[in-house]
Structure 1
Amino acid sequence: MTQSMSRAGNPYDNAPMERFYNTMKTEFIYHYTFETDEDLNQGVYEYVFDWYNHRRPHTFNGGRTPFEARHSN
C-alpha cells in the first residue's frame, strides 16, 4: 500500500476535491435552504450526479461535461 498524501504542509493531493467542494457550495449549497437531512442528501445527489457530471460544461474539459469527456475516446 502506498500513501497518496504529500508531506505534511503540502496538501497538493487535496486540491481537486477542495476545488469541487468550493464549486458545489458556491453554485448549490448557498442558494437553498434544506428542511431535513434527507432533503440535503437528495439535493447533493442530484447536483453531483445530474447537474455537475452530465449537464454542467467544464472549461478544463474543453467545454464538455465530465461524462462527455470520459466517454469521448
Structure 2
Amino acid sequence: MHSDQGSQFTSAEFVQHCRKRGISQSMSRAGCPYDNAPIERYYNTLKTELIYQYRFETAAELDYVVSEFAYDWYNQARPHTYNGYLISFEKRAECTIKQWCYKKR
C-alpha cells in the first residue's frame, strides 16, 4: 500500500495492522507532489466515471471493472488535458521520477 507520510499511516497501530494482514507499506518522500495530486485526481475520476455510474452485484465484479478501468482505459486509452492530451502511459514514458519529485536548484 502506497501512501504519504501522514500520521494515520505511520502510527504503530496502523503499521501493525498492515503487517498482520501481509500488507507492505511504501511512502512517498516528504514534499514529493508526484504521488498525492495525481492519485487524488485519479480516484476522483474513478469514482465519477465508473463507481457512481453503476451498481455492482459482487466484489469480484467490482474488482474486474476497476482493473479494466485502470489498466485498459485510464492508462492506455484516455487522454488527459493536464498531460497535454497524452495518455498516462505516454506521459510516464517521457518523464523520470526525478523530474516529478525534485526541484531544480
Same fold judged by TM-score > 0.5? yes
Counterpart AA for 1:45: S
Q: Cα–Cα, structure 1 residues 57 and 30, in superposed 2: closer, same or farther, change >3 Å?
A: same
1:14 has 2:62 as partner: no
Aligned equivalents of 2:41 and 2:79: distance in 1?
A: 15
Partner residue, 1:59: 81
Aligned equivalents of 1:16 and 1:53: distance in 2?
A: 12
1:5 has 2:5 as partner: yes
1:39 has 2:53 as partner: no
More strand, by proportion: 2
Q: Report how far residue 6 of structure 1 moved.
A: 6.5
Structure number with higher relative contact order (C-alpha < 8 Å, ≥ 6 residues apart) = 2
Partner residue, 1:71: 93
Count of equivalent residues:
66
Counterpart AA for 2:5: M
Percent identity at matched positions? 52
Q: Report how far residue 20 of structure 1 moved.
A: 1.4
Which shows bigger deviation, 39-48 or 62-71? 62-71
Query: Structure 1: which 5+ runs fail to align?
Result: none
Aligned equivalents of 2:84 and 2:93: distance in 1?
A: 14
Larger Rg: 2
**Length-normalised TM-score, structure 2:** 0.54
